[in-house]
Amino acid sequence: MKIAVACDHAGFPLKDEVISTIEQSGNEVVDLGTYSLEPVDYPDYAEKAGRAILQGQADRAVVICGSGVGASIAANKMHGIYACVCHDTYSAHQGVEHDNMNVLCLGGRIIGGELAKEIVKAYLNANFSGETRHLRRVTKIHELEDTGSIQTKNGK
């Protein structure tokens, strides 16, 4: 897989460990910056990561900001991008397997390098299950995204 990696200045200290983990897992990295500790705005980098997915330059992305929250909010504003903050391995793999998450957001000021490596591995090793109940739920997310409301309620 091709994995886009983008971060703001607060995520920059964690970026090299994330990139190394992705490469050691046999995946290709698309490095979208930032490249220093100079302050930049996280929405710009969340957008770069989302666009890389939407334009077919990456299959998934990892975006790192101070808490992961801002990057997640910004990325989720893009149609077809499903971003979540995950600071544990269960959420990282379950978000892909059940919810078809395509952007992992990490908080560079929240977690350390070793935990980030384990979370990234869990994310990379997960695949969407395609189970009927998960397809139904993801379809509802798409309906909400496209129309502003869910047409099918309560599993019907």
Peptide bond preceding 132 in cis form (omega within 30 of 0): no
Residues labelled catalytic:
65, 98
Phi, psi values for residue 26, rounded to 5°: 85, 15
Q: How many CA atoms lie within 13 A of 82 on its CB side?
A: 18
